[in-house]
Amino acid sequence: MSGGGLLVAGTTSDAGKSVVTAGICRWLVRQGVKVAPFKAQNMSLNSFVTREGAEIGRAQAMQAQACRVEPTALMNPVLLKPGGERSSQVVLMGRPVGEMSARGYHGGRQEQLLGTVLDCLERLRGTYDAVICEGAGSPAEINLRRTDIVNMGIARNAGLPVLVVGDIDRGGVFASFFGTVALLSPEDQALVAGFLVNKFRGDVSLLEPGLDMLHGLTGRRTYGVLPFRHGLGIDEEDGLRVSLRGTVRESQVAAPVGEDVLRVAVCAVPLMSNFTDVDALAAEPGVVVRFVDRPEELADADLVVVPGTRGTVRALEWLRERGLADALRRRAAEGRPVLGICGGFQVLGEHIEDDVESRRGQVDGLGVLPVRVRFAREKTLTRPVGEALGETVEGYEIHHGVAEVLGGEAFLDGCRVGQTWGTHWHGSLESDAFRRAFLREVARAAGRRFVPAPDTSFAALREEQLDRLGDLIEQHADTDALWRLIESGAPTGLPFIPPGAPA
């Protein structure tokens, strides 16, 4: 017998679907329910490697953590990794299967994947008591409905009830709720059970008359009003939408343990991927993280991070155009700390031979690390464990570039020259003892009297964050009604709201 299910859709991208899905998952697992997350198709430059070596979206990995289960490729069978405005790498069941334009994907390839997606969902529902699915964008994207496999397409085929989340902080939430339902076909509307308001500020009693009117207009109830909370964002999905400034999770920097703070500048390279690597730095008391795109913004930085990217050669060009390349070379020559991660490690090397990603052939790197990189067609997807600075380090690798290290001091799979460090390992800074040792090195080189906190546990902070999401659902949603939806499906007799989907 298949377990229960629910699709969390949204009126827009960034309405809070990922956060709500994670919150529902954590609430359920605390009730003793065996639950798993699912997102049929994800577009994200932030990805993760499962233990079996499959690449999935980081949001689904985080939701699996909310469920207290190990993430697998079943939870995100289709991952699209943008390589520009019009094309993406298609990752199917954790493995890349090629590059495709948006027109080509929506022109037929997407429909071909429906069987795979439904099979994955059914396998999860056969194993778990409940599967909480996350939609993508809006379910009312009428231009894409015919080929949809992630919103109403999956809901219709799997008989899932749908909860529509709206971000009231943006405004227009009533119109968004009503319009979302009214642009769906009668068959799709029959599965939309109701709404959930996200990011509300103020007195809920002032909102309630509007919710009553919305119920009268649509015949659908609101299942909860979640208050606005700072710092609740789990790993973002779409790196293309990241602003260059102020993008670290509204984190409030705690007072430093030592006399100084430590300032970290992250170069906001194009197609920035797995920028979540710096979250562990931002979690440290006294560490201030910001994203930058001008060379003068590196002047007061104690550490500069060049993060991962889906376009290494494009990132190199961007760094040169902006004057950041010269600034990075000067820092390296002066012995001021620089850390390159994955694509950021590659740009710090001497040469890049790329006939795969950019197809630009041989390109000169910044030349600050004795490394030569050749892009292989096969993608490296591993979960390595090693040692650096006398501490155990765990990470994950996602890259086509194969690095030949020609000198320097060994550092994970890369190298270190002076205070310039490079590695393909994502997630290494989540290893607490290693992160503290690395920050002590950075502080010493920068001349800062910064002392890492002795007890910061990044894993524990993530758990606290997920518990806060579970608390939001438990305290501000009608959990009895939510469970009935998950167990029994959408209520019968929901009214049709005209005009419905266009023919």
> Which residues form the catalytic set?
342, 426
R_g (Cα) of the chain, nearest Å: 23
176 and 11 Cβ atoms separated by less than 8 Å: yes
Phi, psi of 152 (to 5 degrees): -70, -25
| CA dist., res. 120 & res. 127, Å (int) | 11
CB 473, CB 27: distance < 8 Å: yes
341 neighbors 423 (Cβ within 8 angstroms): yes
Rounded to the nearest 5 degrees, what angle is found at the Cα of 329, between the Cα atoms of 362 and 449?
A: 140
CB–CB of 195/494 below 8 Å?
Answer: no
Q: How far apart are CA 30 and CA 67, in angstroms?
A: 9
Tell me if residue 16 falls in helix, strand or coil.
coil
Alpha-helical runs (H) found in 172-255: 173-182, 186-189, 204-218
Helix, strand, coil percentages for the chain (3-state, nearest 5): 35, 30, 35
Given phi > 0 = left and psi -120 to 50 = alpha, else beta, which region is 13? beta
Which pair of structure tokens corresponds to residue 351?
């040469």
Closest by CA position to 237, among listed 410, 96, 386, 48: 48
Closest by CA position to 81, among listed 355, 459, 351, 343: 343
* Cα 154 to Cα 74: distance, rounded to the nearest angstrom: 14
Interatomic CA distance for residues 332 and 434, integer angstroms: 22
As beta bridge partners, residue 265 has 290, 304
CB atoms near residue 357 (< 10 Å): 22
